[in-house]
A and B are shown apart, each in its own frame.
Chain A
Amino acid sequence: MKTEILQKLKSNPRLWELIEKREKFSWTMAIIMLIVYYAFILTIAFDPSLLGKPLSENMVTTVGIPVGIGVIVFAFILTGIYVNKANKEFDVITKELHDSVKDEL
C-alpha cells in the first residue's frame, strides 16, 4: 500500500470505528461459540449422565439429542448473524473507505 493512501486512511476516523466495531463483534461471537461448545463437551467430560436423562418419562429420547442438534443449529445461526451484520454495517464503512482513496489507487 502506498504511503499516501495509508496516511489518508489512518487519519480517517471511520477506519478506526470499523476496526473497533468489527473486532469487538467478531471476538464476542467467537467467545460465545467457544463457551457453548466447551460447556457442551465439558458437561460430557464431568457428568455424562446429565445429557443422558430422558426428555420425559416413557421416552427414550434424551436431553442430549436436542442439545447436540441445538449446538449444530446454533453454530449456523451465529455465522448467519455475523454475515448479516457484516453485510449491512461493516461493508458500508468499508465501501466508504475504498471510495475515499479511489483516486490514489
Chain B
Amino acid sequence: MILMDEPCSALDPIATSRIEDLMQEIKQQYTILIVTHNMQQAARVSDRVAFFTTEVSSTGDRRTGVMVEFGRTAKIYSNPSDTRTEQYVTGRFG
C-alpha cells in the first residue's frame, strides 16, 4: 500500500497530471491511499472516497474526527447518502 499525503500540493497542472497518471499506472499493483483537499482531484483519481469532518463537543471545544461517508467515487459525487457529504461536495459548507 502506498500512502500519499497531499502529493500535488503547490504543483502546477502539468506536474499534477503526471502524478495523477502515475497513480493510475501503479494502482494495478498497489493500493493507494491519498489524502487531498482538492475535490476535483479526489474525483479524478480515486475509485472510492471517504469523507471526514470534525465534530465539536457541545460542552467544550473538544473536536473529534469522524468519517461521515465512504463509498464509490461516482456515487459520492453524483448522489451521496449523507446530507453532510452532499453539502461539502457541493460547497454548501466547508
Query: Are A and B physically bound partners?
Result: no
- Interface residues, chain B, CB within 8 Å of chain A? none
